[in-house]
Copies of this chain bind each other. A is one copy, B any other.
Amino acid sequence: MMTIGRLSVTAGVKVPTIRYYEEIGLMPEPERTEGNQRRYVGAHLERLNFIRHARDLGFSVEAIRDLLSLQATPDAPCHDADRIAADNLADVRAKIARLKKLEAELEHIVSECAGGRAGECNVLATLADHALCTTDHGHVHNSLHETT
């Protein structure tokens, strides 16, 4: 049995965020003490770790809800799990592809920009010059943040 504060520290998720996750249904309502305070058990910590990792990876709350539904029904026909996994796999691959391009651009920026002045620095040129842009100029940041 741990308090919300302890869960917060252990999982690396802020207290109000935990309550927020409960509010939107990502975290279940835990037991309460006589005095109405939340008390969590190990399963809560696991689930919260799951959520946090998935968020770090850029999954939207909705995507996480899907993933969690896999966990909730371990005997469900694999067909459903397969669909959910496949949907997310496409996202993951798209993310990786974009992040690799991003990595290349950032590497370029960092290596070219050693000790010079801003006028000589390639960051600005790289960012301003459309021709230097190696990405597809689709809707990269939308899918990165996955808020659409």
On A, residues with C-beta under 8 Å from B are 12, 46-47, 49-50, 53-58, 67, 70-71, 73-82, 84-86, 88-89, 92-93, 95-96, 98-100, 102-103, 105-107, 109-110, 113-121, 123-124, 127-130, 133, 135, 137, 139-141, 144
Contacts and interface: CB of A to CB of B under 8 A. Distances in A.
Contacts of A123: 67, 70, 78, 81-82, 84-85
A10 to B, nearest CB: 10
Q: Which of A49, A57, A109, A128 has the most CB of B within 10 A?
A: A57
Number of copies: 2
Given A53-B127, A74-B119, A81-B124, 16 more contacts: A53-B98, A53-B128, A56-B137, A56-B140, A56-B141, A67-B124, A70-B123, A78-B113, A78-B120, A82-B113, A85-B123, A88-B106, A89-B103, A92-B99, A92-B103, A99-B99
